[in-house]
Structure 1
């Protein structure tokens, strides 16, 4: 029996060594690419149009252009039921209502004539986007590297306008609605090829097929995670701190293999954590719920408000000087009008002009989560463990945290300025916060509050991981060359 256990143990160690060796040869290049691209992503996020950028490109509402009431605009836009989004803003020199239906359909209605506007022409896109720059060029785009994700689907196709400015800015204007959906610069595009595109394997033909892309990354990162974990086990197993090897060495290896072992001992836990948490980010077996509030929660939170009942003249009274947009938001069965400007955001009730209050938000939210009652309302004036900024996602303050007693233990984070549900965080999401955000992004207490400490920790762990990857690539190439030439 003892002899059998010895033979099985010896065979197991041999197969573990063989698996790690060949897993490293197969996945080693991906390790190196993930490490390098991850460091780039610390400083250059994937291109997106932030709300600040969007508002900066809008001109203040020209109220002499607004003659159509909001209810008439909804009818002209063909909205069925309560819209998912309903805004008034400028499109070039024309005031327009933008309507997004809950079925994904979009409509743009002239606030001057009440006519539903048709697809934007290339000439119109050029006038809208170039802002007087003489060298603009327009190119039709259905889907490309920067608009590959499904969230852009309701806005396709696009007209990509190259402004010809020193930054190499390109604007993506929706032909459906005429709104600017994305801006990119030459700097962002260049660095993202060696950053997010490489890190996420974000190639357009693959990423355009979300389930295929997800399946490939799940299997690839899962295999890589096993390779990293097997290396960590081998590294600890071959380490000798007491009965050392010949010459007093703690490692039996020589040359590049010695460096690979030593780097593995110093950075193996960090590398394994990065790779395993990267696999977790692909949500294997759908373990984790989305942090976006589902349609049923949003519908219950909105309620069923009556028509707005406002004419264009009354609507103007809700605007502040320099207002660049009005949003019509349903909360708790009432319409609220939110003014957006460079100075900030403010919400008031359409019926009487009273400001949006925490009581109004909590009253609406109390009916939002099926099977759960609202148990606690926590105003957050500062960031904490579960609400904190990350990279290009600064996250607003203050915010309301609403806790429910449903089986999923849901929390809602709500912006008290406009009542927007910013995040739905259930128990699985809070677990994922540690397994992915904490382990992969190093969003940990003590680091999230200091960009300098956070980046230093990332660089130290990633440089150690790079040492493992580079020495492993060299050792693997030498092994592969000897095998092929034998």
Structure 2
């Protein structure tokens, strides 16, 4: 039995040695430079105060958008005027808040105008340069962007090398990256998560590759810990290694780092579980039906809502527990709430 463990540990170690080293090194990089994302504070800072004159109602916006199973409706001010953004379980559309026409971003100039306003609001004073339309690239491969694809990528001509991504269907900035993040993430998240675009765009294939690699690596580490303990010898009342030279160093250091190594590798494997062994931490269909109900168009149409709060940068309608709610966001930490049964 022990000889089989030795053989399996040896060859798994041979196969995964470089992968182990890469995971440790890239994990340290990720600690200081995370994968590019748009923080909520930055997203909100890019919004403009809403011009709430002569607006159609949210119920009319839902009808015009044609989105099924609507979960929420938001009102924001874009460079081309106020728009409603109607979001369902798998789709989102934008509608002009004055004439109910489709407000999708269909041209590079429109995407550039959205970015220019967002950049001014954020204090990113630089002209937009190149614009491209992409389904996927290295920084927009996460599945959270699927409902917004394709994305316009607009590069700013500033020292930070900022690039902003605009959703074609909602006209919102959904991602901002800079040259420093992109450079360090090639040595961090892209390697650590085995995240090349050609693989990551196929979520099922990427999930299987990373789960399998981390599972086999966990077995290699566990077998090493078992062997390290089994090979210890007692001499003159002390536990010692029977090996010499590099073998002794491997034995001693491996035992000393066994707990840290196992928690590092196994926790990484568990982070890729995705419902295989444990709950995904999401509401079941029955729970969602009770709590997060769809927005009732008839209820929105029949309710008389107060005027939009002065200075509001985002207004949102949604349903929870069978009630309709509206939230006016005047500042990141300042909200006005309204409810209807």
Q: What TM-score does the superposition give when structure 1 sets the normalisation length?
A: 0.64
Structure 1 residue matching 2:235: 3-state secondary structure = coil
Q: Is the 8 A contact 1:55 1:341 kept in 2?
A: no
Choose the corresponding residue for 1:317, options 307, 312, 326: 307
Q: Is the 8 A contact 2:50 2:314 kept in 1?
A: yes
Distance 1:294 1:179, change over 3 A: farther
Equivalent in the alignment of 2:269: 279
Counterpart mapping for 1:15-34 below 5 A: 15-34=4-23
Any runs of at least 4 consecutive aligned residues in structure 1 with deviations exceeding 6 A, and if so which? none
Equivalent in the alignment of 1:151: 144
Structure 1 residue matching 2:144: 3-state secondary structure = helix
Equivalent in the alignment of 1:301: 291
Find the aligned partners of 1:249 and 1:291 in 2 and give their Cα distance.
Answer: 45
Find the aligned partners of 2:214 and 2:68 in 1 and give their Cα distance.
Answer: 43
Find the aligned partners of 2:317 and 2:292 in 1 and give their Cα distance.
Answer: 11
Find the aligned partners of 2:20 and 2:72 in 1 and give their Cα distance.
Answer: 42
Equivalent in the alignment of 2:75: 88
Q: Is the 8 A contact 1:69 1:310 kept in 2?
A: no
How far 1:159 moved relative to its partner? 0.7
Q: Is the 8 A contact 1:37 1:198 kept in 2?
A: yes
Equivalent in the alignment of 1:221: 214
Structure 2 residue matching 1:286: 3-state secondary structure = coil
Choose the corresponding residue for 1:205, options 198, 207, 221: 198
Equivalent in the alignment of 2:120: none
2:96 paired with 1:130: no
Find the aligned partners of 2:247 and 2:109 in 1 and give their Cα distance.
Answer: 62
Structure 2 residue matching 1:309: 3-state secondary structure = helix
How far 1:125 moved relative to its partner? 0.7
Q: Is the 8 A contact 1:40 1:195 kept in 2?
A: yes
2:256 paired with 1:266: yes
How far 1:345 moved relative to its partner? 4.6
Counterpart mapping for 1:188-199 below 5 A: 188-199=181-192
The one-character-per-residue Cα deviations of 1:199-246 (angstroms, maximum 9, x if unpaired) are 1111111111222112222221121111111111121122234358xx
Structure 2 residue matching 1:58: 3-state secondary structure = coil
Choose the corresponding residue for 2:230, options 223, 228, 237: 237
Choose the corresponding residue for 1:334, options 311, 323, 336: 323
Find the aligned partners of 2:275 and 2:167 in 1 and give their Cα distance.
Answer: 35
Higher relative contact order (CA 8 A, sep 6+): 2
Aligned residues: 332
Choose the corresponding residue for 1:105, options 61, 70, 91: 91
2:51 paired with 1:62: yes
Q: Is the 8 A contact 1:88 1:95 kept in 2?
A: yes
How far 1:134 moved relative to its partner? 2.4
Distance 1:120 1:133, change over 3 A: farther
How far 1:20 moved relative to its partner? 1.7
Structure 1 residue matching 2:139: 3-state secondary structure = coil
Structure 1 residue matching 2:138: 3-state secondary structure = coil
Equivalent in the alignment of 1:38: 27
Q: Is the 8 A contact 2:50 2:77 kept in 1?
A: yes
Find the aligned partners of 1:286 and 1:347 in 2 and give their Cα distance.
Answer: 41
How far 1:324 moved relative to its partner? 1.0
Q: Is the 8 A contact 2:83 2:103 kept in 1?
A: no
How far 1:196 moved relative to its partner? 1.5
Find the aligned partners of 2:239 and 2:325 in 1 and give their Cα distance.
Answer: 72
Find the aligned partners of 1:223 and 1:302 in 2 and give their Cα distance.
Answer: 39
Structure 2 residue matching 1:308: 3-state secondary structure = helix
Q: CA RMSD in A?
A: 2.4
Q: What TM-score does the superposition give when structure 2 sets the normalisation length?
A: 0.89
- Structure number with the higher strand fraction is 2
Equivalent in the alignment of 1:172: 165
Counterpart mapping for 1:429-440 below 5 A: none
Find the aligned partners of 2:263 and 2:323 in 1 and give their Cα distance.
Answer: 48
Distance 1:303 1:206, change over 3 A: closer
How far 1:280 moved relative to its partner? 1.9
How far 1:108 moved relative to its partner? 0.7
Structure 2 residue matching 1:63: 3-state secondary structure = coil
Choose the corresponding residue for 1:288, options 275, 278, 286: 278
